[in-house]
Amino acid sequence: MRNSRPTFISGLYAVVDSGLARLEKAGECADELASGGARIVQLRAKGVGSAAMLRAAIEMRKALAGRAIFIVNDRIDIVLMAGAEGVHLGQDDIPLKDARRLLPSSIIGVSTHSLEEAERAEADGADYISFGPVFPTTTKKDADTPKGLAMLKEVSEKVDLPVVAIGGITEETVLSVLESGASSAALISDILLAPRIREKAAAVSALIEKARNNRG
């Protein structure tokens, strides 16, 4: 195991998804999210050309400027060229052990949908995992069936890694995933489709911080 419950994966995990946000505005969106208190911001751009994704990643890295951890979904090449802090890998992406050879000191997260996948990611040296979808979601068209809070709680108790709850989470349900053991919560459409992204992120961040204080 590379890390034991690293503390840097906590708070609001925000995602700039090209299906919901224009890539030309990715830097501005990242600035709004960080200003609203997001601790981690991921760029997810499925089916987008490499040049456009690299431009967006560079703008996001400049906008975040140390205020939030910058993670790129899937693309190790974009991580390296844009200077992001880490990559998030799906189950069908490059294997974690191979990614670690290319990114020896970077943060590597892995999407998981079962206890078996979560334990394998931990054994392979992931820095954190995401688990879900916890609730029904329309953001990811090929999402698994919802896993529910009970399974999130089981995974959170059985792996010694930060668990980012993802999938259908909203301001109204964020406390429930934290109470089920998640270290962080990823919100996508609930924030990106809000009339004022910064204010929405700030409201969610305040709820998460309150829950963390109550835990401590």
Ramachandran area for residue 167 (φ above 0: left; ψ -120 to 50: alpha; else beta): left
Known catalytic residue: 44?
yes
Known catalytic residue: 111?
yes
Point out the catalytic residue in the list 39, 61, 75, 140: 140
Asked whether 19 and 178 are in contact (CB, 8 A), the reply is no
Point out the catalytic residue in the list 10, 18, 106, 111: 111
Amino acid sitting at position 131:
F
Known catalytic residue: 140?
yes
- Asked whether the bond before 95 is cis by omega within 30 degrees of 0, the reply is no
Point out the catalytic residue in the list 10, 18, 44, 184: 44
d(CA 64, CA 94): 26
Amino acid sitting at position 3:
N
3-state SS, residue 176? helix
SS in 3 state form for 105-118?
Answer: CCEEEEEECCHHHH
Query: Which positions are annotated as active-site residues?
Result: 44, 111, 140
